Amino acid sequence: MANKQKLPADTNKRAKSIVDIATGGGEDKSITADGKNAAAVALGRLGGKKGGKARAESLTAKKRSEIAKKAAAARWKK
């Protein structure tokens, strides 16, 4: 028996799903498994990979020390 695909309740979305199934399309490669846009995820990773290092370089030693003390206090507060 073929796998039955659940169709959306909205008539417009249902019609698009039926057309996608009939034409062999339907699976969008730009969306990841968790529903996120693949291009946005890649772009976010680029900024995230350099963010912490760039922030640390721009802070003064005194400000970094204050941030570290605040973080340690939050950890030990538990």
In a domain, 43, yes or no: yes
Q: What is the pLDDT of residue 23?
A: 84
In a domain, 7, yes or no: no
In a domain, 66, yes or no: yes
Q: What is the pLDDT of residue 68?
A: 94
pTM: 0.39
Q: List the domain range (segments joined by +) for residue 35.
A: 30-77
Under-70 pLDDT residues of the chain: 1-3, 26-29
Structurally, the chain folds into a number of domains equal to: 1
In a domain, 1, yes or no: no
In a domain, 23, yes or no: no
In a domain, 64, yes or no: yes
DSSP 6-65: PPPSSHHHHHHHHHHHHHT----TTB-TTS-BHHHHHHHHHHHHHHHHHHHHHS-HHHHH
**Cα–Cα–Cα angle for 18, 22, 23, rounded to 5 degrees:** 120
Q: What is the pLDDT of residue 28?
A: 58
In a domain, 36, yes or no: yes
